[in-house]
Chain A
């Protein structure tokens, strides 16, 4: 339905631009049949440097700690850490060890891969506001430890404003990466720490 080109005769006759529009639409079959096309698959590899601030953040993750930095000028405490405050343009070198708990600012339940293949078990990406930062400061991660696969089942357990706690990889398996935190799970009783 959504892919159908609409051709209401009346509207077409009196809508601008008044000259016939040009273009040669192909259907799926013609396209897959490689009509008038040619293919190429790129292969490139990159080795990225983590930088001054994120290197230390990653070292922290390896030790099971979430670091933030504080700007002496504006007083914001933020994570992921950065070498300079992007608002004040001053060094951000006061390091703060944050808690590994936080609050779900927003989340989604994603049922497709980037190339639109269905996922049987959905991913639950979320922005987690980390405890100890300034308000509304967090980063992208995943929510886990949730039963069920349907929107209804998951929404029963996950909501904006929900307290969560990081679930870490065992220390021996950590590699100094964001994935050293496996996911954030809902906190039922907030007693520890």
Chain B
């Protein structure tokens, strides 16, 4: 990344729905709640929006093929240039990257970015939607499920650096606690490391309370070009850099102990943002935490902790909301919930509120000027990163 885009892009509004285990509401209705709230807080109407980006993860959750098109109405995309951004779990942050491209390119001045997920429709369990991510000839006959790959990755991470499960359980404790202050939260709770490790082993080393829940929910943001942002908002939050990267689908051929692709995506975003020393220049982080260990894994990939050292940093409080580098002050996926695409964009919403110092009970201390949001997904394969700042 040598070139810098010349046109700046800001977030000027954000919205959420409740995150729930099961919503009566349809995906369209959830998307509408979040999108309309984002428009309202940006002080604009749908007719001001020139293009719409919609992120939503597998069609198999809804049993609706091409559900991006189906959800169009709820995202406010009727009669407009419309794009579905879809890279599995990475979609939430990829949606804002896609919207950023639309504005940075100079084609549009106001873009609405919506992310929706309704996992609860998929019976008997939405994990069924992931059975088909495995290679149909050399993996599926072995009967794999999604828990396998995460537990394999967590164990590899633990074995490579000598990390204990107690160290990882602390992520669940922190994030579920942080989520107590989040109005959308689905699984906020005050728990101890013992509670986490006393929960059932689903796939050792992963315990039930180290996995994010099944969720329904939506999130949305409004993006604006510099000129328009300055006219519409007194506190726009700037997208300073974006990055994304995918690693090989031959996941048994790479070292699962460290997410190289997240590092590449992070450096792309940091270079664009002029960040040379992430640990000094990033003040608040929202790394992707669908499983407890993933937050630590991603903090390392994002260059915010040394390899294998994130658990130690966590234990000494560095990533607490009041710590040196607050991580997942929202409560993350482990606390707020994990409607997949919406969970990634929820992290961007959190940075928006944190950087505007509007996060209320969740506000990190000091004057955070720059934050990073990251999402991850596919076959443990993609990192999507966005750096946001106050100037």
Which residues does A use to contact B, with CB under 8 Å?
Answer: 1-6, 8, 10-12, 14-19, 21-28, 30-31, 35-36, 39-40, 42, 46, 48, 50, 54, 57-58, 78, 80, 82, 86, 105-116, 122-123, 125-127, 136-142, 151, 155, 159-161, 177-179
Please judge, given known A-B contacts A17-B16, A31-B22, A36-B24, whether A108 and B359 are in contact too, CB under 8 Å.
no
Q: Using Cβ atoms and an 8 Å threshold, which residues of chain A touch B204?
A: 108-111, 122, 151, 155
Contact of B253 among A2, A18, A36, A137 (CB under 8 A): A137
Contact of B201 among A4, A16, A111 (CB under 8 A): A111
Q: Using Cβ atoms and an 8 Å threshold, which residues of chain A touch B185?
A: 5-6
Distance in Å from the Cβ of B201 to the closest Cβ of chain A? 6
Stretch at the interface among B97-105, B124-132, B274-282, B292-300: B124-132
Q: Is B180 an interface residue (CB 8 A)?
A: yes
Q: Is B5 an interface residue (CB 8 A)?
A: no
Residue of A nearest to B255 (CB): A136
Query: B16, A138: Cβ atoms under 8 Å?
Result: no
Which residues does B use to contact A, with CB under 8 Å?
Answer: 14-25, 30, 33, 37, 40-41, 63, 120, 123-125, 127-128, 130-131, 134, 136-139, 141-148, 151-153, 155-156, 159, 176, 179-189, 191, 195, 199-206, 208-209, 213, 216-217, 248, 250, 252-256, 353, 358-362
In the assembled complex, 20 residue pairs joining A and B whose CB atoms fall closer than 8 Å, in A order, are: A3-B187, A6-B185, A15-B360, A15-B362, A19-B40, A21-B17, A21-B183, A22-B33, A23-B30, A27-B22, A107-B155, A108-B152, A110-B202, A115-B127, A116-B125, A116-B127, A125-B152, A138-B253, A140-B139, A140-B142
Query: B138, A139: Cβ atoms under 8 Å?
Result: yes
Q: Using Cβ atoms and an 8 Å threshold, which residues of chain A touch B191?
A: 1-2
Distance in Å from the Cβ of B153 to the closest Cβ of chain A? 7
Query: B179, A26: Cβ atoms under 8 Å?
Result: no
Distance in Å from the Cβ of B197 to the closest Cβ of chain A? 11
Cα A30 to Cα B120 in complex, Å, equals 13
Query: B203, A108: Cβ atoms under 8 Å?
Result: yes
Query: B18, A54: Cβ atoms under 8 Å?
Result: no
Contact of B37 among A14, A19, A82, A137 (CB under 8 A): A19
Query: B136, A48: Cβ atoms under 8 Å?
Result: yes
Q: Using Cβ atoms and an 8 Å threshold, which residues of chain A touch B139?
A: 139-140, 178
Cα A127 to Cα B152 in complex, Å, equals 8
Please judge, given known A-B contacts A16-B360, A115-B124, whether A106 and B156 are in contact too, CB under 8 Å.
yes
Knowing that A105-B156, A108-B155 touch, tell me 10 more A-B residue pairs with CB under 8 angstroms. A3-B187, A6-B180, A11-B361, A23-B20, A106-B153, A106-B256, A114-B127, A114-B147, A125-B142, A160-B156
Query: A22, B18: Cβ atoms under 8 Å?
Result: yes
Q: Using Cβ atoms and an 8 Å threshold, which residues of chain B touch A112?
A: 145, 147, 202-203
